[in-house]
Amino acid sequence: MRHHRLSLCGEHLLPWVRAQVARAIRKYRMFGPDERVLVAVSGGKDSLTLWDILLDLGYQADGLYINLGIDGYSDASQAKAEAFAVGKPGARLRVVDVRGEYGASIPELARAHRGRKTCSLCGLVKRHIMNQAACEGGYAAIATGHNLDDEVAVLMQNTLRWSVGYLRRQAPVLPPEPGLARKVKPLCRVRERESAAFALVRGIDYIYDECPHAAGATTLFYKDILNQLENRSRGTKEMFYLNFLQAREQYDLFRAEREQVALHPCAHCGQPTTTPGLCAFCRLWVPPEQADDLASACGQADEDDE
């Protein structure tokens, strides 16, 4: 690990990565030792590494696997998540099957909503289900497996556009709002390589493939750019991320955008939404005319949130 001027064998890697995670949880006040955490588990290396570490650190961390119904990918990744849970003492996994629960898989939903990007639909569905599960289950926070490389790649994309709204919200912790659970990223200081090495040494069996729909090329492109920067000057990634967080805090950057948008409960599911009537998630599942009816029933005009 050049950026830390550190070489670790497998035996010492494990406690080192765990300590990094424990430090991030404390430093960013993600959750306390007595709070229950819901880990969003995809079956990949990052989320399983995260779950493994949280359980070993003694946290009450349950898993949530969302089956998106993607052929040749979802069932395989669910199997990995379930196998991990079976072999891990204290691991409880909840599975939500999108097609079973709502009537359509992500690919089917994408076909019904041509013109919308599959990854954007999928993100909307996952956020909704995660939040619902966290709120219903009384969890203090939703933990996702975003690692440092993920965070830095997104930061670079948002910075190149100076997308103030996104730059304001990109953080290791997103505080809760009424009806919206806290979101935390305990691996935000752990690099992709370290997370993969951890999984390898721990013998965690994870799904290697990327989702076939993933805009993997874009993320990989930015990760490659960042690796070039890192290779030229070690520590660049971490500096970019940490200096961003510090400068934003210290100078209160992007605060002008911070005005609270008014949130209403969705007329159907009750989750908070900015659009009158149905939330963006519920609107996915009803024909447009019915959504209009529902919105009018609430005495509010229908607005497209896209």
Binding site for its own copies (CB under 8 A): 159-162, 164, 221, 225, 228-229, 232, 236, 239-240, 243-244, 246-247, 250-257
Minimum CB distance to its own copies, residue 247 (Å):
4
Q: What values do phi and psi take at 38, rounded to 5?
A: -105, 115
Minimum CB distance to its own copies, residue 164 (Å):
5
Helices (H), 58-207: 74-87, 98-102, 106-112, 118-136, 148-161, 164-169, 192-202
Residue 7 or residue 260: which is nearer to its own copies going by CB?
A: 260
Residue 214 or residue 253: which is nearer to its own copies going by CB?
A: 253
Minimum CB distance to its own copies, residue 225 (Å):
6
Minimum CB distance to its own copies, residue 114 (Å):
24
Q: How many whole angstroms separate alpha carbon 187 and alpha carbon 50?
A: 7
Rounded-to-5 percentages of helix, strand, coil across the chain: 55, 10, 35
Minimum CB distance to its own copies, residue 119 (Å):
17
Residue 158 or residue 271: which is nearer to its own copies going by CB?
A: 158
81's tokens: 């998540």
Residue 240 or residue 285: which is nearer to its own copies going by CB?
A: 240
Residues paired with 174 in a beta bridge: 183
Q: What values do phi and psi take at 127, rounded to 5?
A: -60, -45
Residue 252 or residue 303: which is nearer to its own copies going by CB?
A: 252
Structural element, H or E, at residue 93: strand 93-97
**Number of H helices and number of E strands within the chain?**
13, 8
Residue 156 or residue 279: which is nearer to its own copies going by CB?
A: 156
Q: What values do phi and psi take at 233, rounded to 5?
A: -145, 100
Minimum CB distance to its own copies, residue 128 (Å):
30
